[in-house]
Chain A
């Protein structure tokens, strides 16, 4: 993807050079690798074969975990749970194949593929079940839930026979046993299959990392709130990352089960931690780094064994040394060996030749080239684009914004001013879905964006049913626990009656409570979330800059285009033609926007390394990349010198005209607002105290007394800074 050639602007962009040669080349390379590894398998003894297999499986686990922990920045420490789901389901598939279909013959390659697919899907399903509720949680809370999930899986498998006797073939504490007790999981994990799987995962992950979807993952890692404001459905994206990762862990589990004759129970907390260690040591976010760390960390302990025996150290010291190395490694290089970068041959060459990276593409587009104007010079129409009606937002007892009435004309440039703490940013947060209004409605282009709408009777009934049944089931389980716990041995009819009374009593009480709560709370539709605001064409910048600091300027802008993407996740992982076409468009658009704001020269720098003023402008560029109809600028000129402010303001006007935008901006600098805005609203203590043209507002006595009252009565308002 680094070799995208600049394309012509007219018509569908051509495919990048080397599109086919790359694919064919990779295919040939993969076939050679599979062939070489298959040949190697027969040259090695079983011990070596087993270690190489375990290395390959660790690579699958670490790289798939990296999708969640490294790329998306979430904190999952229960990855081995998904591996065990895959291992048990996959082993069951070949077990039943052997028992039912192939009649004692070892199932073949086809069954193995089926086992991998089904095992992966089962793990993905578990990923979905865990991910949907828990990914709303942040950081360490998510970590502890994933850890808990891993433990729950372990407990369930250990006690499978007490769940149902049909499950006892899973073997409980003995590991996967089959019905007879001495069943061996067939040996179907060949080197060729393992190599092919590892290659597929590496390529897909690498493709993903370079794509719009991968950027969306990384945007969440960098700043979740900004990501949502860019139109990324953060919950859904996180769940997607989680499910993909679980799927591959499941496949790794199937390969594991068919590599070691049996499925052990040792998929607990310690195994999960090992994979986290691989990700961190390799560099979270770096695919090649984690893969190499996985190989080293799997093979190294085995290689140290003979050394330890020669030296004559007690066995625990092997682990002591490992622990010590871990601590020292973290102290010397906490970001892992490779950090977020990837190991590549050209990268090594670059390091040695010490030539700086030249972006050949940026030079092809001259920065002076004017951006293609859309319907330029749209005059302000009377059509009201944005309307807030009686919007109130309370935090506890505090009214942050009260009864705000606000109308913004299409194509206008409206200013929102007011003293510190007047509620300006709260209004912006209401306009972008960060907060839902306590009362009132917000409409944009005739669509209701926020405000309570009664839910349809159908959805209310469905929720009521779902909530009640969930609570009933949960209540019955809790009831059964309490009942059988206080009457562990029911001998008399009285005991049985008590058991049933407690059990059904608690179940029923839970169901009734849930039904009432559901009836009350589900009466209105759930409020729209920030990414839905962005999708309807509202985009924003932030008062305290929220760029994706760890990504480049170019990547920041490309994330803006995510909300208008047409490619699917599959396109992104396979790098289809559709993907390349969109990618070229997105890059072209980003380059044009960056050029317009004079940022093209720093396109490949990290956003966090830009000077302050450039960061502010980059935020505007990023917001524009979402192709908004309404742009909300929160103190865009804060921290700039007067010269910069003036040029920024004129730029804002031009942008408004070029892109046919409606703009609302918050600004402290009255002079600027007066100079640039056509319409001004003045906010104080959460209420609108005045509105109108700059001239009207300037002479409004309420504004003078409230906004500047104590400061300098005599001085004209316009000069206040």
Chain B
């Protein structure tokens, strides 16, 4: 291989890594744009997306056509993760932002009920003649009802005493708490052994590359999975940019991200817009998790989101946090820089490169590559 060919091949490799970062980074940047806080749990939503894809492919649709598997896994992962995103927002972030209110009771009742069903239900199953499914369902229904009443009373009492928090550190700690919760509950539920599965239809599950592109002397190898990830990243980002730029919901999202209070005064339901933002961002992270792992067969465990999430967040900051196009640009740039470093004599320092680039860029452009500069009015 000559130098030019390697240059091209490494760029292609870099873009492939970058497109995974991009899908995660877009969610980060949206939530940050609207709420101005780092949602550390975002990487763990990616993890849940990967597990959803895994169980769809290996259990639910194990013997179906690959195309159906792929489509269903993608939809299920996006739906599951958007629900998870909504749930996290209702459970932790909204009560923190607005102060605990009686309206937060359903989310918490659901949350406690899941654990009650898991432990109490498990205990009851061993001591009952009824079929286990019935026992679990009954436990769940009863505990939801009881916990809802308890939580509503409790939260109504608490809401009189608690004030909403505007401190960003406490928001960050909450996000870390959610992240730890997801990671360890993931380990408890799915086990600590890495899982891996690949949708068989990706080149018949055998050959893992497209027939290499050949143009003259240049041969490039590109993974099928990676092409799909890249295409999906570009497509989903394009849809998102369109939504944010040209639709009513997008306008509301932009309004909320510029000034939440003013947006509320203009009649925009800010809480709902924030929830929608979480929903969209989490769906994208779920899509990223499913695509990256189910198309390429890369193994993962419940801690997969930590490192990837961190990298994706760095990409979002690099691109200018709050800017969707910036997140994609930053992610691609980081993917390419990492690939080149890992192929070079500096290959041990690959993981530091992302941060070095970040620091250098922030020195010259403190708001990232495409971030808007908003000086504080004096």
Contacts and interface: CB of A to CB of B under 8 A. Distances in A.
A155 B349 contact: yes
A720 interface: no
A320 B179 CA distance: 10
B355 A324 contact: no
B348 interface: yes
Contact of A280 (B170, B178, B346): B170
Contact of A326 (B100, B180, B185, B343): B180
Given A145-B358, A276-B173, A323 B6 contact: no
A440 interface: no
A99 interface: no
Contacts of A323: 177-181, 184
A506 B10 CA distance: 18
A343 to B, nearest CB: 20
B352 A151 contact: yes
A486 B376 CA distance: 45
A140 B192 CA distance: 33
A156 to B, nearest CB: 7
A332 B314 CA distance: 31
Nearest to B170: A334
Interface in A474-489: 474, 477, 480-488
A477 B4 CA distance: 20
Given A134-B359, A225-B378, A316 B188 contact: yes
A332 B158 contact: yes
Contacts of A477: 346
A139 interface: yes
Contacts of B314: 144, 148
B184 A75 contact: no
A331 B96 contact: yes
A155 B351 contact: yes
A330 interface: yes
Contacts of B167: 284, 334-335
Contacts, number: 177
B102 to A, nearest CB: 14
B132 to A, nearest CB: 20
A133 interface: yes
A331 B345 contact: no
User: For B36, B362, B363, which residue has the most chain A Cβ atoms within 10 angstroms?
Assistant: B362
Contacts of B283: none
Contacts of B180: 319-320, 322-323, 326
Contacts of A406: none
Interface in A47-93: 69, 75, 77
Given A317-B184, A320-B188, A324-B177, A482 B344 contact: yes
Contacts of B95: 331
Contacts of A281: 173
Nearest to B348: A159
B331 to A, nearest CB: 15
Given A141-B366, A144-B314, A320-B181, A280 B173 contact: yes
A152 interface: yes
B92 interface: yes
Q: Is the interface of A mostly helix, strand, loop or mixed?
A: helix
Interface in A151-190: 151-152, 155-156, 158-159, 162
Nearest to B3: A486
B351 A277 contact: no
B351 A151 contact: yes
B344 A139 contact: no
B96 A330 contact: yes
B165 interface: yes
Nearest to B165: A334
Nearest to B155: A331
B184 A327 contact: no
B222 interface: no
Nearest to B341: A481
A273 B321 CA distance: 21
A139 B165 CA distance: 17
A interface, how many residues as a size bin? Answer: 35 or more
Nearest to A142: B362
Contacts of A134: 359, 362
B169 A141 contact: no
Contacts of B172: 77, 143, 276, 280
B7 A486 contact: yes
B38 interface: yes
Interface string A445-482: 00000000000000000000000000000100100111
A145 B359 contact: yes
Nearest to B377: A544
A477 B100 CA distance: 53
Interface in A91-106: none
A140 B314 CA distance: 11
Contacts of B183: 319
Contacts of A314: 188
B376 A276 contact: no
Given A276-B169, A335-B165, A542-B378, A152 B352 contact: yes
Interface string B360-372: 1011001100000
A331 B341 contact: no
Given A137-B366, A327-B92, A319 B184 contact: yes
A136 B365 CA distance: 11
Contacts of A269: 306, 310
Interface string B310-321: 100110010001
Contacts of B185: 316, 320
A113 interface: no
Contact of A488 (B38, B306, B344): B344
Contacts of A322: 180
Given A75-B168, A331-B96, A480 B176 contact: no
A499 B36 CA distance: 45
A284 B167 CA distance: 10
A350 B36 CA distance: 39
A172 B169 CA distance: 33
A362 interface: no
B351 A139 contact: no
B70 to A, nearest CB: 31
Contacts of A77: 172
Contact of A487 (B3, B92, B173, B340): B3
A336 B92 CA distance: 16
A524 B337 CA distance: 36
Given A137-B362, A486-B3, A429 B378 contact: yes
A278 to B, nearest CB: 10
A484 B188 contact: no
B137 interface: no
A327 B174 contact: yes
A144 B177 contact: no
B168 A277 contact: no
Contact of B176 (A144, A277, A485): A277
Contacts of B170: 280, 330, 334-336
Contacts of A75: 168-169
Counting chain B CB atoms within 10 Å of each CB, the highest count among A140, A147, A284, A330 belongs to A330
11 contacts: A75-B169, A134-B359, A139-B168, A140-B36, A144-B358, A158-B348, A320-B188, A331-B92, A331-B96, A480-B346, A485-B10
Interface of B: 3-4, 6-7, 10, 32, 36-38, 91-92, 95-96, 100, 158, 162, 165, 167-170, 172-174, 176-181, 183-185, 187-188, 192, 306, 310, 313-314, 317, 321, 340-341, 343-346, 348-349, 351-352, 354-356, 358-360, 362-363, 366-367, 376, 378
Interface of A: 69, 75, 77, 133-134, 136-141, 143-145, 147-149, 151-152, 155-156, 158-159, 162, 225, 269, 273, 276-277, 279-281, 284, 314, 316-317, 319-320, 322-324, 326-327, 330-332, 334-336, 425, 429, 434, 474, 477, 480-488, 495, 498, 542
Given A140-B32, A331-B95, 11 more contacts: A133-B359, A144-B313, A147-B355, A149-B359, A156-B349, A159-B349, A225-B378, A280-B172, A320-B188, A332-B162, A481-B346
